[in-house]
Structure 1
Amino acid sequence: MSGSILIVDGVATSRIVMKARLGQAFYSILQAVDGGAGLKLARSERPDVVLIDHSLPDMDGTEFCARLRSDPETATLPVVMLGAKGHPEDRLAALEAGADDYLTRPLNEALLLARLRSLVRAGEIEAELQLRDDTCRELGFAESAAGPEKPARVALVADAQDDGVVWRTALAAQLDTAVDLLPRADVLSEVPGRPVADVFVLAIGASVGPGLGSVAGALDVMSELRSRAATRHAAILVLLPRGGPAAAAIALDLGAGDVVTGPFDPREIALRLGHLIARKRRLERLRACVSQGLRLAVTDPLTGLYNRRYALPHLARIAERADSSGRRFAVMVLDLDRFKRINDTWGHSAGDEVLVRVAERLARNLRAGDLLARIGGEEFLVVLPDADLPTAQQLAERLCRLIEAAPAVLPNGAEITVTLSIGLAIGDPTQPGGTDGRSLLDRADHALLAAKAEGRNQVTIDRPAA
């Protein structure tokens, strides 16, 4: 995995050794001799991970983290702090200042590289979502997320119930969020009404001695969580006994967001959970914005129906399926009669209201699998999969009657009677070119023109030449 690492260390030999280590893993290396230079490089180069020493010539590592986090341009850059001592208070201070991890020298190279891979991978996911969101915004398809975020939920999964109760109590005292205790047997079961956790703390095998066996159970559960749609994007923190760097490296490489290898310290775990929750919230916001942007890209903003951008490819897919199944399908083009007169008489806001009401009535009278789209100003497209001519004609005539029988009621109480003209064409897999979507759309459109010419408020059927 390629990526750029910024090393901030006042000791030249330490920078050289670290550069050699990481260079062998094909990382691009940036170097800074003190905190001030590191902050400038972080802002200008935007590295994938910042690797800093606990003690810098001009500031300590915690001040560097705090200043990095206070700058919007660098606030989300992953940071790993390296310390000569493993004092719990130093680790807590680093995490409180915003570091994603605190590793002690002498470094376990496998664990260091696994941690970097994990952070680079998470950063790439966030960067990809941010890029898509930026594109949606440039195209005008994005909207701001609405409403406050729900409080995060944490699920603690433990083998031993007694230990789990003690750990949950200690964690709940440190967190401003709910902590649910789940036995391993229940974590993967779907219980109606039980909310899905945002973060899973896997304390499975936490009482086992050092080695790969201590992480096997947690990895099994983690794999299941990653394979299920409801929990695929949940954050995961794995608790391991002291002295298990090989197991920790495997857990990180297989998808854990964080790993704690020391004894259970609720303060440290709470800080790490806070980082995981913050990252998950950012990703959720980006996913929601991208999803909303994609929805807006294929949706008519006035009626909420699909637009032409979506309708034409969907028509092509229906045609492909008809070719495979040998079943006919129907294409209708619907147009409101004398719609310009409505706009000229009542105003464009009244015309918009009429379009919305007509769209609602059409949607209520179609099957779930039918396609309904607004493809022009007052023009709609309906595609009926698995429909022959008698079925489609009967529906088209019923739609004409329904629209005419129910005037559109404006907010001021005024009623506007509306009628439809409909052109209908049948896609027939038994005929040469009989399922070409574009051709069928043209044929339905020509039939619509004939319906208009013959008096409006009627259905005209395309009759291909024999």
Structure 2
Amino acid sequence: MTARVLVVDDIPANTKLLEARLTAEYFEVLTAANGPDALAICQADKCDIVLLDVMMPGMDGFEVCRRLKADPRTVHIPVVMVTALDQPADRVKGLDAGADDFLTKPVNDIALITRVKSLVRLKMLTDEWRMRSVTGRDIGFEDTAAADDFAAKGKGRILLVDDRRSSYERMAASLAKSHDVTVETDPQEALFRAAEGDFELVMISLALANFDGLRLCSQLRSLERTRMVPVLLITEPEDNARLLRGLDLGVNDYLVRPIDKNEMMARTRTQIRRKRYTDHLRDNVQQTMELAVTDALTGLHNRRYLESHLATLVSQAVQRSKTLAVLMVDLDYFKAVNDTYGHDAGDDVLREFARRLRKNLRGIDLACRFGGEEFVVVMPETDLSLAVAVAERIRQKVAGEPFLVNGGARALDVTISVGLAMLDHYDDTPQTILKRADEALYAAKRDGRNRVVADAA
């Protein structure tokens, strides 16, 4: 794994030392001697992680970190403070400023490389979601939320895995002031709890009596439902080797006993904030994908989705020797509705038709707005007699009750014409089936409308 690491330090000897260590591990290293230069490099999106000295003239590391985390362009960049300060109060101050971790001078080479790799891996994942989210905004899907909106507002949901009563009671009591805490003393049960619960952070003691805490970390990372949940290790000062192994497995953060209460609160807050931020990015991407394949007016799938998904349904039906039916539906004389009562009334009719259509289909059926007043319904595992019965039921539900438009001020009689085609030939394609359904629809309209016509092929 390679990445662009920005080393920020006003002492050239310190910069050169870190640069040599990182270059030996094939990282690309950039340097800055002061805060403003560091901010400029980060804002230009030239780095993946920042190693930031605290004690610098002018703008110190705390202020640089605060500015990075307050800027939407740089909030996602991990920041590791590299400092001679080793008091818990200093770490809390840095964490409150938004730092992801601390390395104390002189820096241990293994700890440095492991921590950089761990945070870069996390950033690569976040970058993927950010890129997709930006793509969604570029094509017109707004996302007005800022990173500060996820600063652990409301209580976080934490699973604490520890079998030492004196330990978990103290931690739970402190955490409960700001979060909802679930304590689990059985590591095996903890895995099930994590998979079934909606936790935003899992805290795991490495001092479990009869179980390897790293095994639980590995299991959490291997399960789809818990892969994205942050993990924070609670470790002993002498257990450095296992801690580094945990970071390599994907652990997000750690606390070393004896635990400083303020540092614990700051680290949990940071992890929950990041979890909510990445969840938002992921949800926004999902929403963008849904909007891209959904008709905004009716809520049905759009033609783009039909063209991609119909091919899959046809292929599956052929491979499994199953039947498949396609309905092409057209609202009769719809242009007259728009011309006489206005486009708002026409929109009301389309929305109400979509509602009645959905109500009369199965969950496996696919309903799409093909364009204008034309709709397509694809019904897997449906023979001709059932397809005709469904089409007739939809036709009757449309014709049998007037459509209310203009806020219910007017009721309109609406009918539909339906063309039906079956997957009869194993050399059929989505295009040929749609074409035959369209020809059947044309026959229904030619024969007087408000009827169902099945393709004769």
The answer to whether the superposition gives a TM-score over 0.5 is: yes
Match of 2:189 among 179, 186, 195: 186
- 5 Å-filtered alignment, 1:108-123, equals 108-123=108-123
Q: Give 2:156's aligned residue.
A: 152
- 5 Å-filtered alignment, 1:62-211, equals 62-142=62-142, 151-173=155-177, 176-183=178-185, 184-190=187-193, 195-205=197-207
Q: Give 1:39's aligned residue.
A: 39
| Worse overlay, 406-415 or 249-258 | 406-415
Distance of aligned partners of 1:165 and 1:269 in 2 relative to their CA distance in 1, 3 Å threshold: same
**Secondary structure of the structure 1 residue equivalent to 2:212:** helix
Q: Give, as a single letter, the amino acid of the residue that structure 2 aligns with 1:366.
A: L
Q: Give 2:250's aligned residue.
A: 255
CA distance in 2, matches of 1:87, 1:407: 75
Distance of aligned partners of 1:150 and 1:99 in 2 relative to their CA distance in 1, 3 Å threshold: closer
Q: Do the aligned partners of 1:423 and 1:447 also contact (CA within 8 Å) in 2?
A: yes
Q: Do the aligned partners of 1:145 and 1:289 also contact (CA within 8 Å) in 2?
A: no
Q: Do the aligned partners of 1:328 and 1:427 also contact (CA within 8 Å) in 2?
A: yes
CA distance in 2, matches of 1:432, 1:49: 55
Q: Do the aligned partners of 1:48 and 1:78 also contact (CA within 8 Å) in 2?
A: yes
- 5 Å-filtered alignment, 1:237-248, equals 237-248=232-243
Q: Give 1:445's aligned residue.
A: 438
Q: Give 1:29's aligned residue.
A: 29
Measure how far apart 1:362 and its partner are.
1.1
Measure how far apart 1:344 and its partner are.
1.4
Name the count of aligned residue pairs.
451
CA displacement 1:41-63 (0-9 Å, x = unmatched): 33334411111223224444323
Distance of aligned partners of 1:31 and 1:328 in 2 relative to their CA distance in 1, 3 Å threshold: same
CA distance in 1, matches of 2:193, 2:10: 52
CA distance in 2, matches of 1:30, 1:418: 68
Q: Do the aligned partners of 1:144 and 1:289 also contact (CA within 8 Å) in 2?
A: no
Measure how far apart 1:182 and its partner are.
2.1
Measure how far apart 1:245 and its partner are.
2.6
**Secondary structure of the structure 2 residue equivalent to 1:156:** strand
Distance of aligned partners of 1:340 and 1:150 in 2 relative to their CA distance in 1, 3 Å threshold: farther
CA distance in 2, matches of 1:462, 1:378: 21
Q: Give 1:425's aligned residue.
A: 421
- Provide the TM-score with structure 2 as the length reference: 0.92
Match of 2:321 among 326, 329, 332: 326
CA distance in 1, matches of 2:141, 2:45: 30
Distance of aligned partners of 1:293 and 1:45 in 2 relative to their CA distance in 1, 3 Å threshold: closer
CA distance in 2, matches of 1:72, 1:356: 38
Measure how far apart 1:37 and its partner are.
2.9
Q: Do the aligned partners of 1:48 and 1:120 also contact (CA within 8 Å) in 2?
A: yes
Distance of aligned partners of 1:72 and 1:367 in 2 relative to their CA distance in 1, 3 Å threshold: closer
Q: Give 2:212's aligned residue.
A: 217
- Provide the TM-score with structure 1 as the length reference: 0.90
Q: Do the aligned partners of 1:154 and 1:201 also contact (CA within 8 Å) in 2?
A: yes
Measure how far apart 1:270 and its partner are.
1.1
**Secondary structure of the structure 2 residue equivalent to 1:188:** helix
Measure how far apart 1:38 and its partner are.
2.6
Q: Give 1:455's aligned residue.
A: 448
Unaligned runs of 5+ in 2: none
Distance of aligned partners of 1:225 and 1:117 in 2 relative to their CA distance in 1, 3 Å threshold: same
Match of 1:396 among 384, 391, 405: 391
Measure how far apart 1:91 and its partner are.
2.3
Q: Do the aligned partners of 1:424 and 1:444 also contact (CA within 8 Å) in 2?
A: yes
Distance of aligned partners of 1:8 and 1:262 in 2 relative to their CA distance in 1, 3 Å threshold: farther
Measure how far apart 1:444 and its partner are.
0.4
Q: Give, as a single letter, the amino acid of the residue that structure 2 aligns with 1:80.
A: V
Measure how far apart 1:143 and its partner are.
5.3
Measure how far apart 1:332 and its partner are.
0.9
Q: Give 2:378's aligned residue.
A: 383
Measure how far apart 1:36 and its partner are.
3.5
Measure how far apart 1:181 and its partner are.
1.7
Q: Give 1:348's aligned residue.
A: 343
Q: Do the aligned partners of 2:318 and 2:426 also contact (CA within 8 Å) in 1?
A: no
Q: Sequence identity, in percent?
A: 38
Measure how far apart 1:260 and its partner are.
2.2
CA distance in 2, matches of 1:70, 1:296: 30
**Secondary structure of the structure 2 residue equivalent to 1:92:** helix
**Secondary structure of the structure 2 residue equivalent to 1:350:** helix
- 5 Å-filtered alignment, 1:398-413, equals 398-410=393-405, 411-413=407-409
Q: Do the aligned partners of 1:143 and 1:292 also contact (CA within 8 Å) in 2?
A: no
CA distance in 2, matches of 1:265, 1:362: 61
CA distance in 1, matches of 2:68, 2:160: 31
Distance of aligned partners of 1:88 and 1:221 in 2 relative to their CA distance in 1, 3 Å threshold: same
| Worse overlay, 94-103 or 71-80 | 71-80
Measure how far apart 1:70 and its partner are.
4.0
Q: Do the aligned partners of 2:159 and 2:194 also contact (CA within 8 Å) in 1?
A: no
Moved over 4 A (4+): 142-150
Q: Give 1:55's aligned residue.
A: 55
Distance of aligned partners of 1:401 and 1:412 in 2 relative to their CA distance in 1, 3 Å threshold: closer
Q: Give, as a single letter, the amino acid of the residue that structure 2 aligns with 1:172.
A: A
